[in-house]
């Protein structure tokens, strides 16, 4: 039975520590209202001014979303709530959400995405429609989704034709707006496909900065469950291979190799399109924040007390 309590940590990321530190600089992290409630004070976990995304899961009342945004803003963080097009009923609802975020929580950043809902609740079905609405005029930063391993909901045939067409549209839109734009991606587990995707975007003339999704430390079973539910592509094989290794089966997964490989590539290729890391804390916010600090994520004790 002692084996069940075996919690040996994996080795630190290979390669140059300074490369990893540089790569993690300015990372962001994602929370939900129900997970944020469990954190007494985010200032004890995250560097000041960290961008905190607030995931809007279908069924979450807007009041809870705004309250979470208000709290995080009050603790000194840049707040970026999700706006999933397919759960927004109409333009009036969109306008109401924006007014609440702006008026009650001073939100100036947003992640616009289609949302993982099969059937739209109303007139919106894509982030492009949200952008075209004009209701985000005045926002300082607008992020949209990126799909390094494709998206079967958008390209059912397994190609990336529709995804790439959408990215070209968003690239053109970025030239027409004063807001800073970037691609926030789904989490991945293999660096190779990410590097190939980023390089292809550059060849296609799409230079929106990439904020690469990274799954934080978590139990292997948890990661596999989320990876399948979120449609993670080829890099899911990394987890499947790990699950077959009895020496690693009971160890928590940590993104050491993934992060260090991308950090090394960025150091060798400064123009590489990844600008920042975006963490999905699937094993818990505190666990993820601790990993980031231990592996080079800057941290400063909070100066604010209210």
Determine how many CB atoms are found less than 10 A away from the CB of residue 90: 12
pLDDT value of position 223 = 75
Q: What is the mean pLDDT of residues 104-123?
A: 91
Judged on CB neighbours under 10 Å (0-12, 13-18, 19+), 12 is middle
Q: What is the CA radius of gyration of the chain?
A: 19
Q: Does domain 15-294 have CATH number 3.20.20.220?
A: yes
CA distance 37 to 71: 10
Out of 130-139, 172-181, 228-237, 263-272, which region has the weakest mean confidence (pLDDT)? Answer: 228-237
Average pLDDT, the chain: 85
39, 45 in Cβ contact below 8 A?
yes
Per-residue pLDDT of 156-185, as tens digits, reads: 555 567 788 999 999 999 999 999 999 999
On the question of pLDDT at 87 being above 90, the answer is: yes
pLDDT value of position 62 = 98
| Residue 51, helix vs strand vs coil | strand
Three-state helix/strand/coil letters over 61-74: CHHHHHHHHHHHHH
| pLDDT bracket for residue 118 (50, 70, 90) | confident
On the question of pLDDT at 305 being above 50, the answer is: no
On the question of pLDDT at 207 being above 80, the answer is: yes
DSSP 135-184: TTTT-SEEEEEE-TT--TTT-TTS--HHHHHHHHHHHHHHTT-SSEEEEE
Q: 16: which DSSP letter?
A: -
Whole-structure pTM value: 0.86
Out of 33-37, 218-222, 265-269, which region has the weakest mean confidence (pLDDT)? Answer: 218-222
pLDDT value of position 3 = 32
pLDDT value of position 249 = 54
Out of 194-198, 246-250, 292-296, which region has the weakest mean confidence (pLDDT)? Answer: 246-250
Domain ranges (residues) in the chain: 15-294
pLDDT value of position 86 = 95
């Amino acid at each position: 039975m002692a084996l069940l309590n075996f919690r040996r940590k994996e080795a630190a990321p290979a390669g140059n520590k300074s490369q990893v530190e540089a790569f993690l600089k300015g990372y962001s992290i994602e929370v939900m209202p129900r997970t944020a409630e469990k954190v007494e004070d985010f200032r004890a976990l995250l560097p000041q001014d960290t961008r905190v995304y607030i995931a809007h899961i279908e069924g979450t009342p807007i009041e809870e979303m705004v309250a979470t945004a208000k709290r995080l803003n009050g603790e000194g963080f840049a707040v970026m709530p999700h706006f999933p097009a397919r759960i927004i009923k109409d333009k009036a609802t969109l306008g109401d959400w924006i007014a609440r975020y702006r008026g009650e929580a001073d939100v100036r950043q947003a992640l616009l995405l289609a949302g993982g809902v099969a059937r739209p609740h109303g007139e919106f079905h894509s982030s492009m429609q949200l952008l075209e609405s004009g209701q985000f005029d005045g926002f300082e930063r607008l992020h949209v989704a990126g799909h390094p391993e494709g998206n079967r909901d958008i390209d059912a045939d397994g190609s990336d034709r529709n995804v790439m067409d959408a990215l070209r549209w968003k690239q053109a839109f970025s030239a027409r707006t004063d807001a800073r734009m970037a691609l926030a991606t789904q989490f991945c587990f293999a660096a190779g496909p990410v590097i190939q995707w980023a390089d292809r975007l550059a060849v296609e003339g799409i230079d929106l900065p990439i904020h690469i999704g990274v799954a934080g430390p978590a139990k292997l079973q948890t990661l596999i469950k989320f990876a399948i539910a979120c449609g993670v592509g080829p890099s899911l094989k990394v987890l499947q291979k790990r699950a077959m290794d009895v020496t690693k089966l009971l160890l928590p997964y940590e993104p050491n190799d993934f992060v260090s490989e991308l950090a090394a590539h960025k150091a060798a290729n400064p123009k590489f399109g990844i600008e920042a890391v975006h963490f999905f804390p699937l094993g818990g916010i505190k666990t993820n924040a601790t990993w980031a600090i231990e592996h080079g994520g800057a941290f400063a004790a909070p100066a604010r007390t209210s």
